[in-house]
Structure 1
C-alpha cells in the first residue's frame, strides 16, 4: 500500500491523512447523505493513498497578525479588468485558435474546414489525437488523422477541446509563484474527468464541454497568482489563519473571486458563453441555470477535493449546493462509480495533457 516507506512513516502519513480529511470537511457539513458517504470515502482513501491528503501548507511567517485589516482595505485597489488585460496580453491565443473560432461561428464551415485549421498547429493536433485515442473514448480502432477525429467526435466537441487545450498549453509554459503547478493541474484534470463522468451518468450529451469546463474552472486563480502574487499570498495566509475557503478569502482580500475573473477571461477570449457561465457559477450553481454546466462542475470540484486532489496549498471541501444532487438525478451509489471512473482515467489523462 505504501511502497518502500517504513512502518512508522506509513502510519504517520495515514494518521496525517485522516486528520487532514477531518479538516478538509470543516465547511462541508454532513447533513446530506451524499456528503456523509463522501466523507467516509475520503477517510478510506486517506488510508489507502495517504500521500494524496498531505499537501504542504503555506508559510505565514507571522504575517497573519494584521490580516483582518489587510482584508478590509486591500481589495479596494484591485481592478479585475486590469488583471484580465494583463493576462490577455501575456497569454494571447495562437492564430490557429482565432481562425478556429471564426470557423465555428460561420454556419458554412464544414468538418473538413475545422480539421484543416487544427492541422496547421502540430502541437494542437497531437493533443487532440491523444485525447481521441485515450480511454475517454475507447474507439475500437486507432484515430490517425485530425479529420477522422473531427468526424467521430463532432465539430462542436473538437472545437471546445481545442480551445481548452490551447489555454492549458499557454499556462503550462509559465511557472506561477506560490502555486505548485503539478498539484493545480492534477486538481483541474481530476475535475475535468469527473465532470465528464457526471455528465454521462446524468444523461447529458457533449461530454467534452463538461470536460473543458472542469479543466478550466480555476483559470481565474492562475491569473490571480500570476498577476498579483503578493495579494495571492495574503489570500492563502488569510484562508489558513481563519480556516476559510480560498474563494471566501479572495473576496475579502481582493473584492472578487477567481470564478468571476476566469469567466471574464474566457469571454474576452471569445469562449462559448455556457462555458464562461459554468466557470462563473461553479461555487454557487444556484445562481445559474438549475441543470446547467455549473451544477456538474460544482459537484466535480467537491468530489475532486474530497478524493485528495486539491489545487492550492489550502483547500477545503465546499458545501454541496442544495438541489444540485437532486437536479442531476444521481444516486448515492454513483459516488463509488465516479471514484472508479477517476482512478481508471487519471494517470493516462495526466500524461496525455502533458503532466
Structure 2
C-alpha cells in the first residue's frame, strides 16, 4: 500500500477528541490564554483527574490537597500540561490496535520519552523531548491499523521492537513508521517542529534537514528497543548508532547511563492509559 493510500484510510488515522484538539491548539499558541486552557481542562473529567494526579505526585508533601484546575496549572506549569495533553491525545486515539500488546507499547513509549528527556536535558529544544519520545512510535500503530495482514506477517519475521525494524518496513512497503508518524502529526495539525523531528528520527543524518533532537530520539529509540529485545552487552556494543552519537558528542556510556529503577512501571502505564 502506498503511503498516500494508507493516510487516506479512516481506520488508520483516528482523530483526536475535540476538547483535546482545542486544548493542544491553545497550548501551542505563542501566548496561550490561561482562562481558555482552564475552561477546556474543566470540560474533560479525565484530563482534570490526570492533572490533579500529576500535581499530587509532584507535590506529595503538600499538607493541603489541590482540588482545582487553576491551582494545579499554577504548580506544574504549561509545559507539563502540554505534555499531559499530548499523552491524552495519543492514548485516546489508539485504544486497541490489532495484535499489538498495547500495555507493552505504552511502557516502551514512556521509556523512550523518559530517556529522550534525560539525554536532552542540558540543551533547549523546539519541542518537549518527552513529547517527541512519547509520540515517536505512533506510526507503528497506524501501519498495523491500515495494513494489518502485511504488518502481522512482518511481525513474525522481524519483531516489532527490533532496532532494525524501520529498515524492514522500508524494504517491504517503501516507507516506515517514522514517515507515517510524521504524517499523522500533520493530520492532527501538531507543530511543524514536532513533525520534522518525528519524520527524521530513523535516519537523522541522511536527509537535508537535521534537528539535534531527532538524533537524540534516535539514540533513545535504539536503547529502549534493545532493552525490549533483551540485548547483551556485546549486542549493544555491536549495534550502537555511533555516527549519530558522535555528532551529538555522546558515547555508549552516556546512552546506557540510566538507573534501571527509573524505567516505566505498570502503574505508570495504567495512569497514562486510564
Using the size of structure 1 for normalisation, the TM-score is 0.64
> Please, which of 229, 247, 264 is the counterpart of residue 183 of structure 2?
264
- SS of residue matched to 2:259: helix
> Please, which of 113, 126, 141 is the counterpart of residue 36 of structure 2?
113
Find out whether 1:178 has 2:99 as its counterpart.
Answer: yes
What are the residue-to-residue correspondences of 1:7-86 with 2, within 5 Å?
78-86=1-9
CA shift in 2, pair 1:146/1:207, >3 Å? farther
Residue of structure 2 equivalent to 1:153: 76
The answer to whether the 8 A contact 2:23-2:40 is kept is yes
What are the Cα deviations for residues 93-121 of structure 1, in whole angstroms up to 9, with x where unaligned? 11112322442355554223212212211
Residue of structure 2 equivalent to 1:306: 226
Superposed displacement of residue 147, structure 1: 2.2
> Please, which of 131, 134, 142 is the counterpart of residue 212 of structure 1?
131
CA distance in 1, matches of 2:254, 2:242: 18
The answer to whether the 8 A contact 1:290-1:327 is kept is no
Superposed displacement of residue 229, structure 1: 0.6
Residue of structure 2 equivalent to 1:51: none
In structure 1, stretches of 5+ residues that fail to align are: 1-77, 311-315
CA distance in 2, matches of 1:114, 1:244: 39
Residue of structure 2 equivalent to 1:125: 48
CA distance in 2, matches of 1:280, 1:305: 18
CA shift in 2, pair 1:347/1:176, >3 Å? closer
The answer to whether the 8 A contact 1:129-1:144 is kept is yes
CA distance in 2, matches of 1:214, 1:291: 14
Residue of structure 2 equivalent to 1:198: 119
> Please, which of 86, 89, 98 is the counterpart of residue 166 of structure 1?
89
Residue of structure 1 equivalent to 2:23: 100
In structure 2, stretches of 5+ residues that fail to align are: none
The answer to whether the 8 A contact 2:116-2:220 is kept is yes
CA shift in 2, pair 1:264/1:335, >3 Å? closer
The answer to whether the 8 A contact 1:220-1:260 is kept is yes
CA distance in 2, matches of 1:101, 1:238: 38
CA distance in 2, matches of 1:333, 1:245: 21
The answer to whether the 8 A contact 1:160-1:208 is kept is no
Larger radius of gyration: 1
The answer to whether the 8 A contact 1:218-1:262 is kept is yes
Q: How many residues align?
A: 264
CA distance in 2, matches of 1:154, 1:205: 17
Using the size of structure 2 for normalisation, the TM-score is 0.80
Superposed displacement of residue 226, structure 1: 1.3
Q: CA RMSD in A?
A: 3.3
Higher relative contact order (CA 8 A, sep 6+): 1
> Please, which of 105, 108, 113 is the counterpart of residue 187 of structure 1?
108
Superposed displacement of residue 213, structure 1: 1.4
Superposed displacement of residue 299, structure 1: 1.6
